[in-house]
Amino acid sequence: MSKAPQTPLSRTSRLLDLVPYITAHQGIDLTTLAQVFSVTPQQMVADLTTLWMCGLPGYTPLELMELSFDSGYVTIHNAQTLSRPRNLTMEECVALLLGLDLIMQSLPKDREDLKSTARTLVAKLSLRANISSPLHAQSLENQEIRACVLAAISSKSKLTISYHSLYSDEVSTRVIQPVELRSDQMHEHVWAYCEKALAFRSFRVDRLLTCEVADMPSVQIHATEDLDSPFIYYSLHVSSRLRDVMERFNLEVADMSSTIHSRAYSRQWLSRSVVASAGVVELTEPPEIRAEIAGIAALLLQKYGQT
């Protein structure tokens, strides 16, 4: 007999189903029970042993379920709280319906078969939860762009993207080879090799304005490479408004003093943050970014007619 593959999720599902089944079939033969759930007798004994330690909070013999299977026949008592088959609550149905809607939005246009299956599940869940109006989930990311990124990762293709960088406040066109999608602080990022920067960079998916597969060969990317962008180590001299400086530069209280040594990921972020501090901080290192900030300040003074 073909046995179902064993995963933590499948075993948890089976354990939840075992209690109501045994309750309705008291004294069932152990071998028969194993056949019903498509597992070996040895696995069924392991499952029953696990159930033996389950019950209500308190977990004394008074609250734990009582199982008997030493004789080869299985009986169960004191399992009233789990004696009914699993059923989805309204909250679970709504979560599944919203998840299915997001999945359908991200499916490629040529996968009508998957969309049809998803619509069938939506209809069944809506009927079970007695939800007459369709539910829709609005994602921060453009699902067509996200699907394009996933397809490129799967096929190891390059992408031509238009990307809005908030650090430099500009839209740039780049050719990237995506490696994976990552989640960070409620946002999805594409980790990719950027041919403009000649290094690995992270791009927020919701800031991708356009995305299309580039008609050019991909390159071999090794996951063992050092994928971290180089840090920019800097020093600041702080004259006042320590709290504002701490919040703007994402510093800890222990880091605060008249001279601060820290690091940043972005040259643009560092220069814009120093300029936005309106003179309460002075960048002393590195000298090239210090010179860049001096140029920005001189340009601002010219706009006000000063020298």
In a domain, 158, yes or no: yes
**CA distances (Å), origin 153, targets 70, 98, 217, 228:** 53, 25, 14, 19
- Give me the sign of the Cα torsion angle 130, 134, 140, 146: positive
> What is the helix (H) or strand (E) element at residue 271, kind and residue range?
helix 267-276
pLDDT at 36 (0 to 100): 92
Examine the domain organization and report whether 260 and 289 are in the same domain. Answer: yes
| pLDDT band per the 50, 70, 90 thresholds, residue 225 | very low
Domain span at 295: 232-303
Q: Where residue 28 sits, what CATH number does that domain have? A: 1.10.10
Whole-angstrom distance, CA of residue 193 vs CA of residue 201: 6
In a domain, 69, yes or no: yes
In a domain, 134, yes or no: no
pLDDT at 306 (0 to 100): 56
In this prediction, residues 19-48 reach a mean pLDDT of: 90
In a domain, 253, yes or no: yes
In a domain, 61, yes or no: yes
In a domain, 255, yes or no: yes
Examine the domain organization and report whether 272 and 295 are in the same domain. Answer: yes
Residue 82 has pLDDT above 70, yes or no: no
In a domain, 268, yes or no: yes
Residue 151 has pLDDT above 60, yes or no: yes
Give the rounded percent of residues in the chain with a pLDDT score beyond 90: 7
Number of domain units in the chain: 4
In a domain, 222, yes or no: no
Find out whether 281 and 245 touch, Cβ atoms under 8 Å. yes
Q: Supply the pTM of this predicted model.
A: 0.42
pLDDT at 4 (0 to 100): 52
Cα angle value 109/111/116 (rounded, 5°):
110
pLDDT at 156 (0 to 100): 86
